Amino acid sequence: MLIRVPQLLTPQQVGHCRAVLEGSDWVDGKVTAGVQSARAKRNLQVPENAPAARELGEMILGALGVNETFVSAALPLRVFPPLFNRYDAGMEFGSHVDNAIRFAPGTNLRFRTDISATLFLTDPADYDGGELVIEDSFGEQAVKLAAGDMVLYPATSVHHVRPITRGSRWSCFFWLQSMVKDDAQRALLHGLDKSIGEARAALSDGHRSVVGLTGAYHNLIRMWSEV
Ligand code: NI
């Protein structure tokens, strides 16, 4: 399931991110890559423990926590601290799958990466190339969103970032462990959640059908979740 989360950040928040990142250090992006992906990866990142990354990460986690589309689609259990990268002209990230298990920085806490997220921080008019291309069962999907918009996609998928031919593409990226490991189950729950919302609007919160469907939704989460 590929989910677009429009306007996760306001234009003011995007501007704040860019202003902070302007003054940040950038290092080779291979620092968070696995063996295979390190060979394919040519970009720059803000160091994981940089104060700038921590401050902006907190702001983004706050926006995620109150975003209904994100919560419904991802059913998050643990969200990895957001990281920041940039691709300047000539940079790219070849085909790879993200590491399955990661350590939360500075801890022994391991978590499974079920979902990958990219939050775009550059206006698409300001660069050429740089599409995030995700291979799924419907074929390849090229994603290039407005600044402040985010895409969620299964961390199980092969993906790449096309070379930048003009300008520079800045973004925030992170992984999360979901309460529901399986992408197909998450997609079913997200669809059911949306339909329940429509049924509540068309009928009433207390309508017998709404109560029954809401019960089925929660009981499916009870059946499938790991918390
Ligand atoms: Ni990746």
Structure confidence at residue 33 (pLDDT): 81
Last residue of a domain, one of 178, 194, 209: 178
> Quick one: 154 and 218 in the same domain?
no
- Could you tell me the distance, in angstroms and rounded to a whole number, from the CA of residue 97 to the centre of ligand 1? 6
Domain CATH code at residue 82? 2.60.120.620
Q: 165, 128 in Cβ contact below 8 A?
A: yes
Q: 21, 46 in Cβ contact below 8 A?
A: yes
> Quick one: 76 and 102 in the same domain?
yes
What SS3 state is found at 105? Answer: coil
Structure confidence at residue 36 (pLDDT): 81
CA-to-CA distance for 96 and 38, rounded, in angstroms? 9
- Could you tell me the distance, in angstroms and rounded to a whole number, from the CA of residue 109 to the centre of ligand 1? 21
> Quick one: 220 and 119 in the same domain?
no
> Quick one: 187 and 172 in the same domain?
no
CA-to-CA distance for 185 and 224, rounded, in angstroms? 8
- Could you tell me the distance, in angstroms and rounded to a whole number, from the CA of residue 192 to the centre of ligand 1? 29
> Quick one: 101 and 208 in the same domain?
no
- Could you tell me the distance, in angstroms and rounded to a whole number, from the CA of residue 116 to the centre of ligand 1? 7
Residue-level pLDDT, tens digit, the chain, 227 residues: 999 999 999 999 999 999 999 999 999 988 888 888 888 889 999 998 899 889 999 999 999 999 999 999 999 999 999 999 999 999 999 999 999 999 887 888 899 999 999 999 999 999 999 999 999 888 999 999 999 999 999 999 999 999 999 999 999 999 999 999 999 999 999 999 999 999 999 999 999 999 999 999 999 999 999 99
- Could you tell me the distance, in angstroms and rounded to a whole number, from the CA of residue 200 to the centre of ligand 1? 38
- Could you tell me the distance, in angstroms and rounded to a whole number, from the CA of residue 33 to the centre of ligand 1? 8
> Quick one: 53 and 84 in the same domain?
yes
CA of 184: how far to CAs of 23, 99, 188, in Å?
41, 20, 6
Domain count, the chain: 2
- Burial letters for 135-174: b for 16+ Cβ neighbours within 10 Å, e otherwise? ebeeeebebbbebbbbbbbbbbbebbbbbbeebebbbbbb
> Quick one: 77 and 92 in the same domain?
yes
**Which stretches of the chain are assigned E, i.e. beta strand?**
3-5, 27-28, 41-42, 44-45, 76-79, 83-88, 92-96, 101-103, 110-112, 115-120, 127-129, 132-136, 139-143, 150-154, 159-161, 164-178
Ion ligand 1 residues within 5 Å by Cβ: 98
CA-to-CA distance for 147 and 180, rounded, in angstroms? 29
| Residue span of the structural domain in which 193 resides | 183-224
- Could you tell me the distance, in angstroms and rounded to a whole number, from the CA of residue 96 to the centre of ligand 1? 6
- Could you tell me the distance, in angstroms and rounded to a whole number, from the CA of residue 100 to the centre of ligand 1? 11
- Could you tell me the distance, in angstroms and rounded to a whole number, from the CA of residue 206 to the centre of ligand 1? 44
Which structure tokens are listed for 50? 């940089």
pTM of the model: 0.94
> Quick one: 103 and 66 in the same domain?
yes
CA-to-CA distance for 202 and 195, rounded, in angstroms? 10
Structure confidence at residue 203 (pLDDT): 96
CA-to-CA distance for 13 and 91, rounded, in angstroms? 26
Q: 146, 157 in Cβ contact below 8 A?
A: no
> Quick one: 187 and 92 in the same domain?
no
> Quick one: 93 and 193 in the same domain?
no
Strands 27-28 and 44-45: antiparallel
Structure confidence at residue 14 (pLDDT): 98
- Could you tell me the distance, in angstroms and rounded to a whole number, from the CA of residue 166 to the centre of ligand 1? 22
> Quick one: 107 and 211 in the same domain?
no
> Quick one: 96 and 49 in the same domain?
yes
